Amino acid sequence: GKPREMSTAGSLLVREGIGEVKVHNIPTKTTFCGPAEVQSYFQPTQDPSCKASPDGKEVLLSSFRGRTLRGAEIPLPEGYSGYAIRPVCAGPEGLDGGEELEAVHRFTHVTAWNHDVKPAASDYFPALVDWSSLAAVLHGTRPEA
């Protein structure tokens, strides 16, 4: 079938006091969709073989499905927040009709992981965050906190 595009006519509902969560960007794909006891099995620690990444961030060590992962916690640019969202009430046509979305969790940092490679400022996610900050300066715009 033809892929659907989400309408920009929808809205995002952000309630007061939503919980803060840790977000991990892991270079893997899974088809599982449902609750998982992530805290029980995914427990990053400081990597004893790496003092720090080139930009001074603490290097973390973990594994997923037997593969070693190395990562670093990346703060979102000043004034930005990320949200885990869900549809409030999706109609029969999914999210095409401008339905309302609800933020269920908020985050201000993302831990970006690599397969057994020390994190670098040139990795995709840190570069994306740096570009967002640079774009705000170039265009004279800053999001409101």
Q: What is d(CA 143, CA 145) in angstroms, rounded to the nearest whole number?
A: 6
Q: What is d(CA 76, CA 90) in angstroms, rounded to the nearest whole number?
A: 29
pTM for the structure as a whole: 0.70
User: Is pLDDT of 145 > 60?
Assistant: no
Q: Mean pLDDT over all residues of the chain? A: 78
Helix (H, G, I), strand (E, B) or coil at 73: strand
The structure tokens listed for 3 are 């892929």
Exposure class string for 29-57: b at 16+ Cβ within 10 A, else e: eeeeeeeeeeeeeeebeebeeeeebeeeb
**Where do the H-state alpha helices sit in 6-105?**
38-41
The residue-averaged pLDDT of 50-63 equals 78
Q: What is d(CA 136, CA 145) in angstroms, rounded to the nearest whole number?
A: 14
